[in-house]
Amino acid sequence: RDELLEEYLKAAVQVTLEAGQIIREALTSEKRVQTKSSAADLVTETDQLVENLIISTLSNKFPSHRFIGEESVAAGEKCILTDDPTWIIDPIDGTCNFVHGTPVVAVSIGLSVKKELELGVIYSCVEEKLYTGRKGHGAFCNGQKLQASTQTDLSKALILTELGSIRDPVAVKMLFNNMERLLKVPAHGIRIVGSAALDLCHVAAGDVDAFYQFGLHCWDMAAAAVIVGEAGGIMIDTAGGPLDLMSRRVVAAGTLEMAYQIVKELQPVAYERDDST
């Protein structure tokens, strides 16, 4: 089993690097942009091309494996986790950045076996940082071991979050309400970079103390859940329970104390679950 997982990780790294090169080259070219669930939920031909590349490469190597991919789900595929080995793929995390030529974009590939996340690969393609994690075997960035922050005090925290793509005025107000509550603690600061997967890598690397978001998807957090966990951090539900990959909400932090203090401040923003259809 150990050898198999190592082989899966190697295959995921290889295809991630290939995908990263395509994204890097396409970043500054003209794109065909379409919208999905809202006017700010974007997709380009590169998202689709890269997702097809990843799925065809991995399914050639591992024909019995299943796939949950952001663009396949957008095209009507189901988003259901089974006991079978399932690759959970975000071909471009940070599509809005990508559309604007902003160089903060990533490929994210996680693998679940028997509904447990076993490995994760996230590639920040422009800065060429490759984050990897395997359950029980540590998390690394370009081979360097990662360690999450040990900060336990929210009033000393730098926090990342994302606005997501919802533009419904009530939901937007709630996003800002949560930020306001955290700033009034007062947290040191809140930053938004435009890629939830990369935010989570920053938590794993200890670059920031925490991340939270309502409205992200399973493919934004599957790979990162392994990387953050292996870096000594934690990912939990915004209400304080265990992480639910399909729930579209998360709090991640270097310490449980930090995560719980954030949970205490957050007021829920409702999103439809990823596995609701």
Among 16, 44, 48, 70, binds ligand LIP (CB under 6 A): 70
Return the number of the residue (85 or 194) whose C-beta is nearest ligand LIP.
194
Return the number of the residue (85 or 215) whose C-beta is nearest ligand LIP.
215
DSSP-derived letter for residue 156 is: G
Closest distance to ligand LIP from the beta carbon of 165 (Å): 6
Return the number of the residue (36 or 61) whose C-beta is nearest ligand LIP.
36
Q: In the structure encoding, which two tokens stand for residue 221, read together?
A: 């957090």
Return the number of the residue (14 or 165) whose C-beta is nearest ligand LIP.
165
The β-bridge relationship of strands 144-145 and 158-161 is unpaired
Kindly name the residue from 47, 51, 71, 93 that is annotated as catalytic: 93
Closest distance to ligand LIP from the beta carbon of 142 (Å): 22
Closest distance to ligand LIP from the beta carbon of 125 (Å): 13
Q: Which is it for the CA torsion 218, 220, 223, 227, positive or negative?
A: negative
Q: Which of residues 137-166 bind ligand LIP (CB under 6 A)?
A: 162, 164-165
CA pair distance 222, 68, nearest whole angstrom: 11
Q: Which residues are annotated as a binding site?
A: 70, 90, 92-93, 220
- Cβ-based burial of 9 (10 A; exposed 0-12, middle 13-18, buried ≥19): buried
Rounded to a whole number of angstroms, the CA Rg of the chain reads 17
- Stated as kind and residue range, the H or E segment containing 111 is strand 106-113
90 binds ligand LIP (CB under 6 A): yes
168 is catalytic: no
Q: How many CA atoms lie within 13 A of 90 on its CB side?
A: 26
Return the number of the residue (35 or 82) whose C-beta is nearest ligand LIP.
35
93 is catalytic: yes
- The strands making up 144-145's β-sheet, listed across from edge to edge, are 66-69, 86-93, 106-113, 116-124, 129-134, 139-141, 144-145
Kindly name the residue from 70, 118, 230, 274 that is annotated as catalytic: 70
φ and ψ at 81, to 5 degrees?
Answer: -90, 130
Q: Which of residues 187-216 bind ligand LIP (CB under 6 A)?
A: 194-196, 215-216
Among 11, 44, 71, 93, binds ligand LIP (CB under 6 A): 93
- # binding residues, ligand LIP (CB under 6 A): 16
Q: Which residues are annotated as a binding site for Mg(2+)?
A: 70, 90, 92-93, 220
User: For residue 70, how far is the Cα from the chain centroid?
Assistant: 11
CA pair distance 211, 190, nearest whole angstrom: 9
Closest distance to ligand LIP from the beta carbon of 62 (Å): 23
Residues that bind ligand LIP (CB under 6 A): 70, 90, 92-95, 162, 164-165, 194-196, 215-217, 220
For the annotated catalytic residues, the residue numbers are 70, 90, 92-93, 95, 220
